[in-house]
Amino acid sequence: MTDKQGLALVDLDEDGVDRAFRADVLKGLRQPQKAVPARWLYDDAGSQLFEDITQIPEYYPTRAETEILEDREHDFAEAIGPGRAVVEFGSGSSVKTPLLLRAIDPAAYVPLDIAGDFLRAAAADLQEKFPALPIYPVEADFMREVALPEAVADMPKLGFFPGSTIGNMVPRTATDLLRTMRATLGESSKLLIGMDLIKQPDVLEAAYDDAGGVTAEFNLNLARRINRELGGSIPVETFTHVARWNDDFARVEMHLEARQDVNFKVSGEAFEMAEGDTIHTENSHKFSRHSSATLLMAGGWTPVQRWLDKEQRFSVILAEATIPRSAP
């Protein structure tokens, strides 16, 4: 359900249950390969656990991307130039956004996020760091076209989508999002996007299955959330977190694997799983130079520059809104 600005509202039933959550979980658990959309990993506990993940030694993407943003300040200033309205898809983390804002001297900053409280807190925090910068937070679901504030209508835009969050979407959804971003940002806009790189499977699997078990907690928290919010009886202790590289689709998959045959209920509906069956909970696609360019172009963006961290683990790509041409 959305309001007139395309803003997603939580639609609760008479028992206070999020209808979309229940519908996604029940639909996903009825499939032969059980699956729950990854967005449901992020309740309060899940969001905190993700913050913890960004600090663990094995999870390199946050550090690698931050290194690029720190080291390439002058390149960004030159390639992007001053005077743009920076539109960030998902509220800025306290570390990455200031690095970009400092580098390019923007005319305004527009953080978009569906979580209003988080959005306003992040905006207030940034306003303290950049007192002279006009900041216009917009509470919206950026998977749909967003009407940007009037005040930035005439400014050229730079979309900012760090973190390789694009990798959590299957290519079809990622393409839809890139096209939607282009519609939101308009002609002659640019996009600065983080995209994680394909690398040795053992490095990737360790990043998603750390020795300290933080990612396992993040994944298992979904089962706990289902039990708590949907009256579920999933025996969480009989499930194991699994992170595996799927080479056919160039992605790390997270699953919850049953270690023995189990029966459980969710919202009154019965489910059974045999030992070794899994619930697929997340994809994290990784990219090559070619696959990132192909995805961006499919979404209406032409990559113009690409930066890697010193260990060549992660890429930050600058793209321009492609001008539609019929030839060749």
**Judged by CB under 6 A, which of 90, 137, 163, 300 binds ligand AVI?**
163
* Least distance (Å) between residue 16 CB and ligand AVI: 27
Identify whether the C-beta of residue 271 lies closer than 8 Å to the C-beta of residue 258: no
Kindly tell me which residue out of 167, 232, 299, 303 binds ligand AVI, with binding defined by CB under 6 A. 167
**Six token digits for residue 116:** 């209003």
Q: What's the angle, vertex CA 204, arms to CA 112 and CA 59, rounded to 5? A: 55
Listed residue (306, 280, 277) closest to 291, CA to CA: 306
Residue closer to ligand AVI, measured from CB, 206 or 319: 206
Pick between residue 93 and residue 233 the one whose CB is nearest to ligand AVI.
93
CA triple 261-227-17, angle to 5 deg: 140
Residue entry with tokens 């229940």:
22
- If one asks whether residue 61 binds ligand AVI (CB under 6 A), the answer comes out as yes
The total number of residues written for the chain in this structure: 328
Instruction: Give the number of other CB atoms < 10 A from CB of residue 318.
Output: 21
DSSP string covering 26-78, please?
HHHHHSSSEE--GGGG-SHHHHHHHHHHTTSTT--HHHHHHHHHHHTHHHHHH
Asked if residue 294 binds ligand AVI (CB under 6 A), the reply is no
169 binds ligand AVI (CB under 6 A): no
Q: Does 168 bind ligand AVI (CB under 6 A)?
A: yes
Distance separating the N- and C-terminal Cα atoms of the chain? 42
| Nearest to ligand AVI of 84, 96 (CB atom) | 96
**Residue 221 engages ligand AVI in binding (rule: CB under 6 A):** no
Closest CB to ligand AVI among residues 46, 156: 46
164, 184, 221, 281: which one binds ligand AVI (CB under 6 A):
164
- Yes or no: say if 119 and 125 are a contact pair by the CB < 8 Å rule: no
Single out the segment in contact with ligand AVI by CB under 6 A; choices: 76-84, 93-101, 161-169, 271-279.
Answer: 161-169
Q: Show contacts with ligand AVI in window 109-148 (CB under 6 A).
A: none
Closest contact distance (angstroms) between CB of 297 and ligand AVI is 22
Q: Please, is 238 exposed, middle or buried when counting C-beta atoms within 10 Å of its C-beta (0-12, 13-18, 19+)? A: middle
Residue 296 corresponds to which tokens in the numbers above? Answer: 């961006």
CB of 54 to ligand AVI, least distance (A): 8
> Which position has the token pair 């390149």?
75
The sheet carrying 157-161 orders its strands as 138-139, 108-113, 85-89, 157-161, 190-196, 314-321, 301-308
- In degrees rounded to 5, what are phi and psi of residue 88? -100, 130
89 contributes a contact to ligand AVI by CB under 6 A: no
Nearer to ligand AVI, 245 or 264 (CB): 245
Q: Measured from the CB of residue 282, what is the shortest distance to ligand AVI in angstroms?
A: 6
Our CB check for ligand AVI shows the closer of 61 and 159 to be 61
Q: Is 171 helix (H, G, I), strand (E, B) or coil?
A: helix
Among 282, 287, 303, 313, binds ligand AVI (CB under 6 A): 282
Backbone angles phi, psi at 327, to 5 degrees: -110, 155
Closest approach of Cβ 164 to ligand AVI, in Å? 5
| Out of 165, 233, 267, 305, the residue judged to bind ligand AVI by CB under 6 A | 165
Judged by CB under 6 A, the stretch of 5-13, 91-99, 164-172, 300-308 that binds ligand AVI is 164-172
User: Is residue 194 part of the contact set for ligand AVI (CB under 6 A)?
Assistant: no
**Smallest distance from ligand AVI to CB 44, Å:** 16
Does 47 participate in binding ligand AVI (rule CB under 6 A)? no
Q: Which chain residues interact with ligand AVI by CB under 6 A?
A: 53, 61, 163-165, 167-168, 208, 215, 282, 284
